[in-house]
Amino acid sequence: MTTLGYDADLGYEPVFQLEDEALKCPYEHFRTARSSCPVSFSGALGFWVVSDHKHVLEVLKDTVTFSTKEMLGPQVAREWQMLIDKAAESPEAKQIIGADYGSSPRKTLLFADPPAHTKHRKLITSALSPAAIKSWEERITETAGHYVDTLAEKSAVEFVTDFATPYTMAVIADILGLDRALVPRLLGWAEGFNSMVGNPNLTESELDALVNVRLSFDMFFAELITERRANPGADLISRVVVINDELDEPLTTDELLMVLQLTLVGGSDTSSTALAKMIEYLAAHPAQWETMRADPKAIQPFMDELLRTESPVQGMFRAVTRDVELDGRQMKAGDVVWVSLGSANRDPEVFPHPDDKDVTRKGTAGRFVAFGGGPHVCPGSPLTRMELRIVLEKLTGRFAGVALDGAAPPSKKSFLFFGPAHLPVTFHS
C-alpha cells in the first residue's frame, strides 16, 4: 500500500463510469479494495474511496472532519445551486414565496453539519415521532391494499413503474396529508430531482428543464406551508411547520422546502428501489416467498438481509475539512471521499459469509449501514421499514408467488441508487 499518489486500479472505477455490467452488482467491484486497500485514492475519479465497515463508520461519525455539505458530490452541488439561482429569478415565485426566495443555499439535514444539522434533525425526528408513524399505519395499510388489489386485475406488471414507485410515493402523500391523485405530479418532481443524483452525464438542456421542476415544486409546497400554518392537521407538513415555528431560530421557508423535498425524494425512491430489488430476488427464490407466506414474521429478517446485501443507496460523498490520516493514508483539506455503504454491508469482518442472505442472522439492522450511520443516519428508516413490511405482507398474503418475465433486468443508471430500472413480473394466485 502506498501512502502517497494514486492507487493501482482496484476495480471500482466502472461503477462510477456507469458501465452496465458494473451497475448490476456494484458492491462486487469494491471487494478487492475492501480486502487490500480499504482507504484508496483513484486518480481516474479524483476522489478517495472508503470500502470497509470500520472506516466507513469512522467517516460517517466524524462530521467535523468529513462534511456532508456535498454529500451527492461536487458536480451535483454546483448543479443544485444553479437550479436554485435560476428559479429565484421568477417574479411570480418571489411574489408567492417571498422576496427572500432563493437566498438560502438550503444546506439542511443530509447537507448540513452540526450544529445546524442537530437543529434540523430534531425538527424532523420530532415530526416523525413513533406516535406519528403509528398514527399513519392504518392509512398506509389501506394504501398498500389498494395497490395490491390493482395487481390482482392483471396477469403481468412492470413492477417498478406500475407498482413500486407509485405505491411508495402514495405513502409519502399519505403522511404529507395529500390526495392520492397527486401521486403522478409528485413522482414527476422526484424523478426530476433524482435524475441529477449519481449521474454525471446530464446535458445543459436537461439541466435547464430541471429549473421548472425546482420552481413548480417550491411554489406548490410554499403554498401548502402557508395553508398548514393557518390550519394545521396531523400530517407531516403541519407537524414540521408547527414545531419549526416554536423554535428560537426557525428554519426559513427555503429551508423548509428542502426538508419537504428530502422527505419526498429520499422517502420514496429509496423505498421503491429496495422493494423492487426484493421482488426481483423473490422471483428467483420462490422458497423464500413460500416461507413468508406461511409465516409473516419471516418478512422482517428477510427485509434486513436484503437491505444489507442489496443496499438501495450504495454510498455517499463527504468533503474533507482538514488534513487527516485514515488507515495510514494522508487526506488533505478539500479532498472528496466516497463512503461505500454497499461494500461495508458485505464486510466479512462484521458479517460472516457476507454474500449469503442468511435470514437467521442476528443483529443485522443494528450493524448494517443501509440507512447511513452516525449523526446522519436516516430519520425516516422506521417509516421505510413499516411500509415495506406492510406491502410484503399484503403481496405474500394475496399471491402464491412471483416470476420474472424475461431476462434479468438492467440496473438504474446511477452509482448511488441500486435497483432494477425495469422489472416485468407476473404474480401467481
pLDDT digits (tens, 9 = 90+) for 10-66: 999 999 999 999 999 999 999 999 999 999 999 999 999 999 999 999 999 999 999
CB 255 within 8 A of CB 124: no
Strand 336-340 to 47-50 pairing? parallel
Q: Give the pLDDT confidence score for residue 108 in this predicted structure.
A: 75
Positive/negative CA dihedral, 77, 80, 86, 87: negative
In percent, the amount of the chain with pLDDT more than 70 equals 97
Neighbours of 407 (CB within 10 A): 7
The string of pLDDT tens digits covering residues 313-345 is 999 999 999 999 999 999 999 999 999 999 999
Positive/negative CA dihedral, 285, 289, 295, 300: positive
Q: Which of 69, 33, 78, 73 minimizes the C-alpha distance to 337? A: 73
Residue 326 forms beta bridges with which residues?
329
Strand 47-50 to 66-67 pairing? unpaired
Q: Give the pLDDT confidence score for residue 200 in this predicted structure.
A: 63
The answer, yes or no, to whether residue 102 has pLDDT greater than 90, is no
Average pLDDT over residues 372-378: 89
The answer, yes or no, to whether residue 3 has pLDDT greater than 60, is no
Q: Give the pLDDT confidence score for residue 197 in this predicted structure.
A: 64
CB 69 within 8 A of CB 112: yes
| The three cell numbers locating residue 90 | 421568477
Mean pLDDT score of the chain: 90
Positive/negative CA dihedral, 333, 113, 368, 161: negative
Least trusted range by pLDDT, from 11-25, 90-104, 188-202: 188-202
| The three cell numbers locating residue 66 | 468529513
Q: Give the pLDDT confidence score for residue 2 in this predicted structure.
A: 39
Average pLDDT over residues 67-77: 76
